[in-house]
Amino acid sequence: MSITITPAANERMRHFLAGTPTAAGVRFGVRRSGCSGFAYVVDLADAVGEGDSLVEVDGLPLIVDDKSLSLVDGTVIDFQRQGLNASFVFHNPNATGECGCGESFTVG
């Protein structure tokens, strides 16, 4: 499995982890949602559970559930600020389409 985290996203994730020292890492995956099928999930994880994979990306503990692995393999996670807005941005080679608002995606 290959996931890339840009320096900006890494810094942002480390900021969240520093605020919650008991967190096991950052959970990254997908859930069914939106008009296109899947939405990304980025959150702090309390623990690595059964059915989770723990990978270290540039020293950052990233936890991905086994159901999401094939859907996020190869994804580049970035963090961008545009005016007052700030968000994670995902470049996923598995996505074959996205909804107009960019909140959800489909796979082929």
Residue 47: CB atoms within 10 Å: 10
Reported pTM: 0.86
pLDDT mean over 59-79: 93
Looking at the predicted structure, is the pLDDT value of residue 101 above 60?
no
Bridge pairing between strands 76-82 and 4-5: parallel
Confidence of residue 35 (pLDDT cuts 50, 70, 90): low
Residue % of the chain over a pLDDT of 90 = 64
CA-based nearest residue to 27, from 3, 61, 51, 77: 61
Domains present along the chain, CATH in parentheses: 4-101 (2.60.300.12)
